[in-house]
Each structure stands twice: as C-alpha cells, then as structure tokens.
Chains A and B, each alone.
Chain A
Amino acid sequence: MIASQLPILQVIVPLIAAPLVLLLRRSGAAWALTLLVTWSMFAIALVLLAQVMDGGVLYYRIGGWAAPWGIEYRLDQVGALVLVIVSGIGSVVIAYARASVEREIDSERIYLFYCMYLLCLTGLLGIAITGDVFNLFVFLEISSLSSYVLIALGRNRRALTAAYRYLIMGTIGATFYIIGVGLMYMQTGTLNIDDLATLIPAVADSRTIHAALAFLTVGICLKLALFPLHMWLPNAYAFAPSVVTAFLAATATKVAVYILIRIVFTVFGGVDVFAVVPLVQEALMGLALIGVFAASSVAIYQNDIKRMLAYSSVAQIGYIILGISLASSTGLTGGIIHLFNHALMKCTLFLAMGAVFMQAGGVSIRHMQGIGKTMPWTMAAFVIGGLSLIGVPLTVGFISKWYLILGVLEKGMWPVAGLVVLGSLLAVIYIWRVIEAAYFKDPSNDTITEAPLSMLAPMWVMALASVYFGIDATRTLDIATSAAQTLLGGGAP
C-alpha cells in the first residue's frame, strides 16, 4: 500500500513537518525533525526514480478523482531526476546547516528558518511531480514565497532589498506563467498536462496559443534567471544566509529549468515548438550564449566570492538552456545531465564559502588570502568544485560539457562549440583568482581554524560525488538519456 502512495508522500511529508516545526519552536528539535524529513524524502525520491526507470511514467490521482477533472500527479524520468536532485541537495545541506545557521541567523528565528526550508522543499518537490499546470503554479508560489523569506533572513540588511527585488521579479515571472496557463485554458479547457498535450496540436496555430507560449517562456525564464532576466539573482545569492544560498543555487533555478522543459517538450510536445515559432529557439540559444559570456565576464571582476559564484550560476544556466534549445537527443541529454552536475558542483562551492564565512567572517577576495593554509580541507573541496565548474576531465563538469559540445557538433554548429570551450576558459580565470589568493598569499589572520566536521562532511560528500559521477557517469547518463528520449518521444500519450 505504501508503495502506491509514495508520490503523494514525497510532497505532503515536508508540508506536514513545516507546521510541526512552527509548533516545536526549539531549534535543536526543529533541526532534528527537518533532518529526518529531508533524508526520508531523499529515500522516497530514489525509490521513485528506480520505479520510473523500470516501469515508465507513474500516475497518482488525488482524492480519487480521475485525471482531467481532478489533480493528477505524473512522474517521468526527468521529473524523478529533479526530485532526486532537490531532495538530495536538501538533505546534505540540512546536515551542514546546524552550525552555520546558529552563526548566521538570530537564535529566536532559527525555527522559522527550518519551517520555511521545509515549505520551500515542498514547493520544489511538488513542481517536479505534479501533472497539472495550475497545481504547478501553486507549488511555484509556495517555493518562491518561502525562498523570499529565507533570503531575507540574512544578517546583512541588504538581504532585505535583495529579497524584495527577487519578490518583485519572481512575482512578475509567476504572473506571466499564470497568464500563459490562462490562455491555454481558454483554448483547450483543461489544465492537465497530458490532456493539454493531446489538445494543443489542434489549436496550435492560433494567436492565443502563441501568446500563451510567449508568456510562459518569458515568465519561466525570469524564474530560471536566463540572461538578461537574471538581475535579481546575484544579490539574492550574495546576501542570503550561506545555507540558503547553497540550497537555492543548487535547486531553485534547476526546478525552473525543469518547468521550461516540461512546457516545451511535454505540454507543447505534440507540436514542434521550435519549428512553429523558430524565433523561440534562436532567442533561447542566443541569450544562453550571451549569458555565458556576459555573466562569466562580470564574475571575473567580483570581489565578493558569493556574488562571483552567483554570476557563474547565471553562466551555467546558459549552458543548460543551450542544451535544451538544441532540441536534439544529445543536446537535451547534455542539458538534463548538467542540471544534476551543476547542482553538485555549485552546492560544493557554496558550502565551502559558507564554511569560510563562518571561520573568517566574510567571503571577499581579501578574506580568502591564505585560506588554503588555515582551512585546507574546505579549500580542497572548493578546488574540486572549481575544477568541475571549468569542466576538467574526471569531474562532472566535463561530462556535461562533452555532451553539450557533441550536441552542438551534431547540428554542425562549429562556432557554437568553440564558444562553449571559450566560456570554460573564462571560468578558469575567475576560479584561479580565488585559488591564487587562497594558496599563494600569506594568511592575513592566523587565528582562523578549519570548519567543524559537521560542515566539512556534507561539503566533502558533494565534492566526492562530483568526482564520482565524473568518473563513472553511466548511471546518470542512462537516466538523462532516457529522460531526453521520453521527452522527445512527444507529449501526446
């Protein structure tokens, strides 16, 4: 019986745990409950992934109502992979969170942090599993509203303006999304994803559906911070508490990318969006490439390392979108696997920065001086994450870049392949600046010590995972390839 209820448990367990944390109030108990919930969610996500890989798409009817009328949960390979990413990152980050949160958040607000964290997790998991475009909007709002609060919990007062800016931009994005959903509903009379996929081809040539597609694309691109809609992201990541940055950087934008994939390849799966409106493809690809270069170049000049990594995130999202815009099996595989790989490496990097922030009191390039000697383990993890970001062989970054370049070459776009390699060189520059300061300058402050084990262990789990999945990528590639093939197989069931 439990097995058939797993899809709903994935979402409601953190939803129920959030008010319980609010009632518990004691920070230790709140942390323990959150830890238990996130790890069980990770276990459930792994089981669901195995089920989907074996048996294809899973369905779950809420309240026993049949599909087009009731809300349905629908899980395919790419959704299951996103569930694993979100819950896996969520559980590793929460193991790390206790020490870091005590340092960065007022003690009487710590339980609120865990409550919001669980709600954010609920929203992100819900987006990945739901089979209903309106339900998806609700989960998008749950995750967004809680992430605004999480960002605003930062000690620096500028966290408030950063969160406010994110709120404005995020709300515009969500509004555009819901306008797009409304227009689709106007033409088809349904909100169910499978049902939409069946009904849209008949009306695909209408103005209404074109407008819907435009609103959906722009709204989602705001959420996933595609250049030039990324302006909310750097400050939000820089001023949020370190734990929040590590969690959101690895999950929130990835889930937004998932929504884009879902809309383009499933909801509009029956029509070839990129053939009907070629501008979408060109715009996405062009903006993705400009984003890689613009954001990487800005990253080079950042003094605050968290801001630098935030800009690097915008650039990495460019790579993911590039893979998606190719709309070929290899390109999409590259994009999907980079979702997973980038989550691993960015989480490692931000967790390392959280440890430096805690021990050295800041993360500007000045604070990094000599950190390689005073905090060797933390910096070693940072180096692994950095190498992976560049795309050095034997790290996960290499696998994703390899597939992206293969996908680009399949389409005969040699210049684009050159640009992907060139973009990686920019990553070398900004990562090298940090490594140079950390290893070749003398420590400005000798009293800095290594971070506690409770923070090092999660950081190293992420770092080792980004090496492991870089050496043995068969499993992740299998999942990404089969996800890409299911998506390209067309949405109409």
Chain B
Amino acid sequence: MLSRTSILRVVSKLLIPPIGLYALYVQFHGDFGPGGGFQAGVIFATVFILYALIFGVTNARLVAPSWLTRAMLASGVLLYAGVGVASMLMGGDFLDYSQLATDPIAGQHLGITLIEFGVGITVAGAMITIFLIFDGRIRVDDDDEDG
C-alpha cells in the first residue's frame, strides 16, 4: 500500500479523472477513428487498478464490489447480444444494424456504438476482476469475494 507517500496519492488523484475521461473518449470515438470497446475497457480498468495500487485493494473493493464487476461482465455481453436480437426482431438478420433506425446509416452508427459499449463494459469488468482476484488469492481470510 503506497497511500502514505503523499506525492503518489496526490498525483494519482489528479490522474484518475482524466484517464477515465480518456477511456470514454476512446470508447465513443471508436466508430470514427482508432479506438473502440476493447481499448476503452482496458483504459477504464486502469483507473481502478491505479486506485487499488495506491489506496489498497480493500478500498478498491468498496468502489468495485464483486457484485458490480460480475454485473459488468454479464451486462456487456447481454448488451452486445441484445443489439443483435433487436435487429432480428426488427426484421433483419442477427447484428444487421441497418434495421435499428429508419435510416440505415444511422442504424449502423447506433449499432456499432452500442455493441462497442457492451464490449467496453465487459472488458473493463474482466480486467478489474482479474486484478482484484489475484489479490484475493493472497488474502483468502478477509476476502469479500462472493460476499
């Protein structure tokens, strides 16, 4: 735990919001330029990993309890598949985004944005879970996993 070092504490507090913001930029800029759900998810997860490194895993678990990371893992996949099912219900094939709006191009935009958001949520959830579980392996006793 590095929270006693005030420089690290202050610098990480300064960095965490811009990193999160940058993750959102990469996420939603993904359909115009480089970026997308996977990269954004990893960047977003580094916010939690940095926080856990500086302020300890116990505090990080308060911010990202296991029910939340589990819900992230599941909901991202559900959002992705849900977009596919929605386009099926609207009369197209699975993941045929053109069906999602009256204008096919708008539909393609909407579809790709939504599924990339799903990818982002699941990847961020997976990265945070993997990092926190490594810590949980070391300290089994005060573990709140599945709590």
Tell me the minimal C-beta distance from A105 to chain B in angstroms.
14
Give Cα A19 to B81, complex, Å: 10
Contact among B70, B88, B98 with A8 in the assembled complex (CB-CB below 8 Å):
B88
Contact among B70, B94, B95 with A22 in the assembled complex (CB-CB below 8 Å):
B70
Within 8 A of B (CB), among A152-179: none
Give Cα A18 to B73, complex, Å: 11
Within 8 A of A (CB), among B65-99: 70-71, 73-75, 77-78, 81-82, 84-85, 88, 91-98
- What secondary structure prevails in chain A residues at the interface with B? helix
Q: Are A8 and B81 in contact (CB under 8 A)?
A: no
Residue of A nearest to B82 (CB): A16
Please judge, given known A-B contacts A63-B93, A64-B92, whether A22 and B85 are in contact too, CB under 8 Å: no
Q: Are B84 and A23 in contact (CB under 8 A)?
A: no
Give Cα A64 to B104, complex, Å: 12
Q: Is A474 an interface residue (CB 8 A)?
A: no
Give Cα A63 to B95, complex, Å: 4
Q: Are A12 and B92 in contact (CB under 8 A)?
A: no
Q: Is B146 an interface residue (CB 8 A)?
A: yes
Residues of A within 8 A of B146 (CB): 108
Residue of B nearest to A73 (CB): B94
Within 8 A of B (CB), among A14-71: 15-16, 18-20, 22-23, 60-64
Residues of A within 8 A of B77 (CB): 15-16, 18-19
Q: Are A23 and B95 in contact (CB under 8 A)?
A: no
Q: Is A3 an interface residue (CB 8 A)?
A: no
Tell me the minimal C-beta distance from B106 to chain A in angstroms.
16
Q: Are A19 and B78 in contact (CB under 8 A)?
A: yes
**Contact count A vs B, C-beta below 8 Å:** 48
Q: Are B78 and A64 in contact (CB under 8 A)?
A: no
Give Cα A323 to B131, complex, Å: 48
Please judge, given known A-B contacts A5-B88, A19-B73, whether A61 and B81 are in contact too, CB under 8 Å: no
Q: Is A453 an interface residue (CB 8 A)?
A: no
Q: Could you tell me how many residues of chain B have their Cβ less than 8 Å away from some Cβ of chain A?
A: 21
Q: Is A1 an interface residue (CB 8 A)?
A: yes
Q: Are B94 and A5 in contact (CB under 8 A)?
A: yes
Q: Are B74 and A60 in contact (CB under 8 A)?
A: no
Contact among A1, A23, A64 with B74 in the assembled complex (CB-CB below 8 Å):
A23
Q: Are B93 and A15 in contact (CB under 8 A)?
A: no
Residues of A within 8 A of B78 (CB): 16, 19-20
Give Cα A61 to B82, complex, Å: 18
Q: Please indicate which of the listed interface residues A1, A5, A16, A64 has the most CB atoms of chain B within 10 Å of its own CB.
A: A64
Q: Are B81 and A63 in contact (CB under 8 A)?
A: no
Give Cα A20 to B79, complex, Å: 12
Tell me the minimal C-beta distance from A129 to chain B in angstroms.
12
Q: Are B70 and A62 in contact (CB under 8 A)?
A: no
Residues of A within 8 A of B75 (CB): 19, 23
Residues of B within 8 A of A20 (CB): 74, 78
Within 8 A of B (CB), among A430-472: none
Please judge, given known A-B contacts A15-B81, A16-B85, A64-B98, whether A23 and B93 are in contact too, CB under 8 Å: no
Residues of B within 8 A of A16 (CB): 77-78, 81-82, 85
Give Cα A425 to B77, complex, Å: 50
Tell me the minimal C-beta distance from A168 to chain B in angstroms.
20
Please judge, given known A-B contacts A16-B81, A16-B85, A64-B98, whether A8 and B93 are in contact too, CB under 8 Å: yes
Residue of B nearest to A108 (CB): B146
Residue of B nearest to A4 (CB): B93
Residues of A within 8 A of B85 (CB): 12, 16
Residues of A within 8 A of B71 (CB): 23
Give Cα A62 to B91, complex, Å: 13
Q: Please indicate which of the listed interface residues B73, B81, B94, B96 has the most CB atoms of chain A within 10 Å of its own CB.
A: B94
Q: Are B95 and A62 in contact (CB under 8 A)?
A: yes
Give Cα A60 to B94, complex, Å: 9
Q: Are B91 and A60 in contact (CB under 8 A)?
A: no
Residues of A within 8 A of B91 (CB): 1
Residue of B nearest to A61 (CB): B93
Residues of B within 8 A of A62 (CB): 93-95
Contact bitstring A411-435, B, C-beta under 8 A = 1, else 0:
0000000000000000000000000
Residue of B nearest to A119 (CB): B77
Q: Are A19 and B92 in contact (CB under 8 A)?
A: no
Give Cα A15 to B78, complex, Å: 9
Q: Are B97 and A63 in contact (CB under 8 A)?
A: yes
Q: Please indicate which of the listed interface residues A1, A18, A63, A108 has the most CB atoms of chain B within 10 Å of its own CB.
A: A63
Give Cα A61 to B75, complex, Å: 26
Tell me the minimal C-beta distance from A442 to chain B in angstroms.
45
Give Cα A280 to B72, complex, Å: 47
Residues of B within 8 A of A23 (CB): 70-71, 74-75
Q: Are B81 and A12 in contact (CB under 8 A)?
A: yes
Please judge, given known A-B contacts A62-B93, A62-B94, A63-B94, whether A22 and B73 are in contact too, CB under 8 Å: yes
Apart from A20-B78, A23-B71, list 15 A-B contacts with CB within 8 A. A8-B88, A12-B81, A12-B94, A19-B73, A19-B75, A19-B77, A20-B74, A22-B70, A22-B73, A22-B74, A60-B93, A62-B93, A62-B95, A63-B94, A64-B92
For this complex, 18 residue pairs linking A to B, each with C-beta atoms less than 8 Å apart, are A5-B88, A8-B88, A8-B93, A12-B85, A12-B94, A16-B81, A18-B77, A19-B73, A19-B74, A19-B78, A20-B78, A22-B70, A22-B73, A22-B74, A23-B70, A23-B71, A64-B92, A108-B146
In the complex, the 3 A-B pairs of residues with the closest C-beta atoms, listed nearest first:
A19-B74, A64-B96, A63-B95
Which residues of A line the B interface, CB within 8 A?
1, 5, 8, 12, 15-16, 18-20, 22-23, 60-64, 108
